[in-house]
Amino acid sequence: MQFERNKISYIALAVFLIGLGLFAYLGLYFRYWADDWCYNADFRNLGFFQTLHGYVDNVTYTPSRYSVTILAGLFYPLGVFGLQLLIPISLLLWTWGLVRLFVNISSLSSYPLSTFHAVLLSCIIVYFSIYLAPHLYQSVYWNTGFFTYTFPLVLFPWVLTLVTDQNTSKTKLILIALLSLLAGGFSEASNTVLVSILTLYTAIAFVGSRYKKLWAQKTFPPALVALIFAMIAMALLVFAPTTQLRAERYGEPANLLELITLVFNFTRAFVTLSVKDYQQLLILLLAALFGFVLTSKERDINIPKMLSLGLGIFALAILLVAASLTPSAYIERGLPILRTQIIPRHIMVFAFVALGWGAGFILRNLYSPAWLQTTASVVLLVALAFPILTIFTASKYIPVYSQRAQLWDEREATILSAIENNQERVEVLAIDGAPVGGIRDFDPPDKKGYWITLCAADYYHIKLQVILP
């Protein structure tokens, strides 16, 4: 039976690695769009540090989200090649960070979870978080959107891994402080999630340390440091000069009562739709089958404790979804734009995978006759058709993305040729954003996206005459 479980484990892991490989491959068609040109113009004309200084003096495009500027500036010298490296590197870091976090949680909770199973769970979570992203292109394959909303999800597990690691040192505290400050500075939505997680863990660790729990005594100081610097990041976002300019466009924010009502309604709607979504229910079922088939029966299992843990995971997911929706409810009195919603989507996927695995583990220990084990193994193999089908569905993006990348490359070649020939103006083709959900591109003067054209012209140092497709 152990041999059969191993074979199923490897088959499942292979499926999700292929899925993640597909998303990494789509990164080859990553190009600059919309706000990217304004960042690039500043990086090229002013340099990295002067561009970052725009956070204070508002003379560059730099918004309040300083971490976006830092990451975009670090990758800028590599050009398109840097963009193509970005997704594979990020997927690796994201998955690896979750693996490390699962291993730490297993150690703290005494819950048996092998490294291999941690890898499988992490791959499932990252794959479905991307596949189910409400706006895949803007959340993952647009530089500014990816850094603002998705890259903080890559860093969160690393912050939490450092916090929950029981090795204490001053060097680790410094690293936690810097990483928390960086992870908290990408967007308001991601920052509120990070602060919420760290606040809850710090409170739990504080109570545990009062009861002389060794794990709590070791992890409370790093948790407190992480929380302090995540809150500093929040202050840097809230009180940035550019934040005040943005706030003026939205008018008066929601008052406290209105905010509570909006957050409650938005959270209820998001969680309800997630529970009703057949794809996320299939993820729950798939994780439950994994938890039943792949785990071993333990001698002792505390059922009330496991059930309480499940309720705690679901409650935490609701809390974090609410945290991610709060900034938009406060400022705009509405739901965040679709590219932002990859954050609450990731939270729900994580919760469904954890709950499913836990449910399967409980059933394994309560009732697992040979016939049920065999049946569950067969059902699991059949259920793998679901992620395989999603991989085929996602592969349909390849021709769409590749065509856009080809048009982009041809256009840049035309611009660079005109620059080489000392032309003052060049005629360029606008690339239709409809196939990927409306990402903005160059526009003529009478169109809304003309500001993008101006930024690109400033970057290339040549006037652009835009032709609409």
- pLDDT tens by residue, 387-428: 999 999 999 999 999 999 999 999 999 999 999 999 999 999
Q: What is the mean pLDDT of residues 67-83?
A: 94
For residue 115, being part of any structural domain is answered with: yes
Residues 435 and 384 in one domain: no
For residue 36, being part of any structural domain is answered with: no
Residues 275 and 342 in one domain: yes
Instruction: Tell me the sheet residues that pair with 427.
Output: 465
Residues 229 and 276 in one domain: yes
**pLDDT of 266 strictly over 60:** yes
For residue 270, being part of any structural domain is answered with: yes
For residue 332, being part of any structural domain is answered with: yes
Between CA 155 and CA 90 the distance in angstroms is 9
pLDDT of the residue at 304: 81
pLDDT of the residue at 61: 77
Range of the domain at 179: 2-30+63-395
| Residue 18, both tokens | 């292929």
Between CA 188 and CA 217 the distance in angstroms is 31
In the chain, DSSP finds a helix count (H) and a strand count (E) of 21, 2
Q: How confident is the model at residue 214 (pLDDT cuts 50, 70, 90)?
A: confident
Q: How confident is the model at residue 369 (pLDDT cuts 50, 70, 90)?
A: confident
Which residue's entry shows tokens 């299939």? Answer: 282
Residues 157 and 255 in one domain: yes
What's 446's DSSP letter?
T
Do the Cβ atoms of 244 and 317 come closer than 8 Å?
no
Residues 215 and 283 in one domain: yes
What's 298's DSSP letter?
P
- Considering 336, 360, 395, which residue would you say is the last residue of a domain? 395
Q: What is the mean pLDDT of residues 35-60?
A: 87
pTM check: above 0.85: yes
Residues 230 and 264 in one domain: yes
Residues 340 and 430 in one domain: no
Residues 273 and 355 in one domain: yes
pLDDT digits (tens, 9 = 90+) for 85-129: 999 999 999 999 999 999 998 888 777 788 999 999 999 999 999
Helix, strand or coil, per DSSP, at residue 148: helix
- Considering 395, 423, 456, which residue would you say is the last residue of a domain? 395
Do the Cβ atoms of 227 and 252 come closer than 8 Å?
no
For residue 44, being part of any structural domain is answered with: no
Burial (CB < 10 A; 0-12, 13-18, 19+), residue 433, is middle
Spatial CB neighbours of 23, under 8 Å, sequence gap ≥ 6: 87, 91, 127, 130, 131, 140, 394
- Considering 365, 395, 425, which residue would you say is the last residue of a domain? 395
pLDDT of the residue at 284: 96
Between CA 430 and CA 453 the distance in angstroms is 10
Q: What is the mean pLDDT of residues 231-237?
A: 95
Residues 229 and 266 in one domain: yes
C-alpha angle with apex 398: 396 to 399, nearest 5 degrees? 90
Which residue's entry shows tokens 């611009």? Answer: 415
For residue 436, being part of any structural domain is answered with: yes
Between CA 325 and CA 262 the distance in angstroms is 9
Residues 140 and 284 in one domain: yes
The total of other beta-carbon atoms located within 10 Å of residue 268's CB is: 13
pLDDT of the residue at 373: 86
Q: In this predicted model, which residue has the larger pLDDT, 203 or 253?
A: 203
Helix, strand or coil, per DSSP, at residue 465: strand
Residues 277 and 403 in one domain: no
For residue 41, being part of any structural domain is answered with: no
For residue 233, being part of any structural domain is answered with: yes
Q: How confident is the model at residue 372 (pLDDT cuts 50, 70, 90)?
A: confident
Do the Cβ atoms of 61 and 38 come closer than 8 Å?
yes
Residues 323 and 342 in one domain: yes
State percent of the chain over pLDDT 70. Answer: 97
Say how many domains are in the chain.
2
